[in-house]
Chains A and B, each alone.
Chain A
Amino acid sequence: RKEVEQDPGPFNVPEGATVAFNCTYSNSASQSFFWYRQDCRKEPKLLMSVYSSGNEDGRFTAQLNRASQYISLLIRDSKLSDSATYLCVVNRLGTGANNLFFGTGTRLTVIP
């Protein structure tokens, strides 16, 4: 089983729509969680960290459910500029091992 799993999409939504992405992780030892955004042929960039209590940054809301090992990202009032691939990333505590695991990404296209 993959460490991190995401629905690859694509998600095609009209401007102004609300869209949600989900991500599951397999290892309960995972400690911290992030959503990264990656534009076509660019490097991934941190969109937001995901905190246990849930957190919001403008139109973006991230939530974590440790019991279900599930992370979500909600985008409200979608803009054309939100079109990108959204990568779910988990960080597992460990001093001697790779501890950053990426999902395959969910592609979002916002349509005028």
Chain B
Amino acid sequence: DTGVSQNPRHKITKRGQNVTFRCDPISEHNRLYWYRQTLGQGPEFLTYFQNEAQLEKSRLLSDRFSAERPKGSFSTLEIQRTEQGDSAMYLCASSARTDQTEAFFGQGTRLTVV
């Protein structure tokens, strides 16, 4: 499968624990996006990478959230000291360099904080 891959697909964690999600984009895509989606809402932007550079972070991304893309390939999103409000679907998408092209999404990681 050469699409966007996210792991794990589901994560249940206790409040206060740290979690890390991984995203492997389509190999020739240099742009990578993280979004968060809750029920009944569209995806909300969290952060954006162009190659290894994190070019933008949403104000939704509190100090407890950090994202990396160390070699410009896969990316990780870590949430420290999780809260119940962090429960959501975390979606990763990638797109090619040309600004006109669409983004392709992974299947997401569904996080439940109990």
Name the B residues within 8 Å of A65 (CB-CB).
none
The reply to whether A100 and B99 form a contact with Cβ atoms under 8 Å apart is: no
Query: How many Å lie between the Cα of A50 and that of B43 in the bound state?
Result: 20
A residues less than 8 Å from B56 (CB atoms)? 96-98
Q: Does A1 contact B (CB under 8 A)?
A: no
Question: What residue of chain A has the Cβ atom nearest to residue B99's Cβ?
Answer: A93
- Smallest CB–CB gap between B58 and chain A, Å? 8
User: A94 — which chain B residues lie within 8 A by C-beta?
Assistant: 99
In the complex formed, the residue of A with least CB distance to B48 is A98
Interface residues on B, range: 20 to 34
- Contact yes or no, A43 B42, CB < 8 A: no
Tell me whether A20 is interfacial, beta carbon within 8 Å.
no
Q: Which single member of A32, A41, A44 contacts B43 (CB below 8 Å)?
A: A44
Is the pair B99, A31 in contact by a Cβ cutoff of 8 Å? yes
Indicate whether A46 reaches chain B with its CB closer than 8 angstroms: yes
Task: Decide yes or no whether B74 CB sits under 8 A from chain A.
Answer: no
Residue-by-residue, is A74-103 near B (CB-CB < 8 Å gives 1, otherwise 0)? 000000000000010101011111111111
- Contacts A98-B45, A100-B45, A105-B42 given; does A32 touch B107 at CB 8 Å: no
| CA A110 to CA B45, docked complex, whole Å | 30
- In the bound complex, residues from chain A placing their C-beta under 8 Å from that of B99 are 31-32, 91, 93-94, 99
Residues of chain B whose beta carbon lies under 8 Å from any beta carbon of chain A = 33, 35, 40-45, 48, 50, 55-56, 58, 89, 91, 93, 95, 99-108, 110
